[in-house]
Structure 1
Amino acid sequence: MFSRKREPKHVRAADAPPSKALADSLAADGEGPAPEFGPWDARYAPDGVQRLDLGSLQIPAVEGVEVRVQANPDGGVEQIVLVDGESALQLGVFAAPRTEGIWDEVRAEIAEAMASDGVTPREITGRYGTELAARVNTPDGPADVRFVGVDGPRWMVRALFQGAAASGPAREGVLGEVLGGLVVVRDNEPRPVREPLPLRLPKEMAEQAQGQGA
Structure 2
Amino acid sequence: MGLFGFGKKKHQSEEALEAAAEENEEAVDAAENVDEAQEVVALPESSAEYEGRGDERGPWDVEDENVPDYDEYLDMGSYYLPFLKGIELRVKANRATQQVLGTTITYGSSSVEIEAFAAPKTLGLWDDVRADLIEANKDAKEVEGVFGTELALPVTVKGGRKVLTRIVGVDGPRWMLRGIFSGKAATDPEGEEAKALNQFFADIVVERGDDPLAPRDLIPMHPPVAPAERKAAKAAAEEAEQKTEIPGKPKGPFDSDQQVEVKTTLSRGPMFSEVR
Place the TM-score, normalised by the shorter chain, in its bin.
0.7 to 0.9
Residue 63 (structure 1) aligns with: 85
User: SS at the partner of 2:63?
Assistant: helix
How many matched pairs? 182
Answer whether contact 1:49 1:60 (CA < 8 A) is retained: no
Larger Rg: 2
Q: TM-score, normalised by structure 2?
A: 0.60
1:64-117 deviation digits (Å, cap 9, x = unpaired): 2211112347653123110011111001110001231110110011111112xx
Task: Indicate the percent of aligned positions where both proteins have the same amino acid.
Answer: 37
Query: Which amino acid is the alignment partner of residue 177 of structure 1?
Result: Q
Q: Does 1:162 align with 2:182?
A: yes
Unaligned runs of 5+ in 2: 12-47, 227-276
Aligned to 1:137: 156
2: CA distance between counterparts of 1:98 and 1:168?
Answer: 35
User: Is the Cα contact below 8 Å between 1:18 and 1:151 reproduced in 2?
Assistant: no
Matched, 1:174 2:196: yes
Structure with larger RCO (C-alpha < 8 A, sep 6+): 1
Q: In structure 2, do the counterparts of structure 1 residues 183 and 142 end up closer, same or farther at CA, with 3 Å as the change threshold? A: same
2:166 to 140, 146, 151: 146
The residue number in structure 2 matching 1:37 is 57
Q: Please, which runs of 5 or more residues in structure 1 have no aligned partner? A: 11-16, 25-33, 205-214
Residue 169 of structure 1, CA deviation: 3.8
C-alpha displacement of 1:49: 5.6
Within the candidate set 92, 109, 125, 2:144 is matched to 125
Query: TM-score w.r.t. structure 1 length?
Result: 0.76
Over 3 Å counting, the alpha-carbon distance change for 1:7 and 1:182 in structure 2 is farther
Richer in strand (by share): 1
The question of 1:88 aligning with 2:115 is answered: no
Equivalent residue for 1:51, pick from 73, 83, 87:
73
Q: Which residue of 2 aligns with 1:189?
A: 211
* Distance in 1, Cα, partners of 2:201 & 2:149: 16
Taking the aligned partners of 1:56 and 1:158, their CA distance within structure 2 comes to 12
Deviations 1:110-167 (A, max 9, x none): 111112xxxx222111222100102221114110111100000100011100111112
Cα root mean square deviation, aligned: 2.5
* Displaced runs of 4 or more, over 4 A: 7-10, 72-75
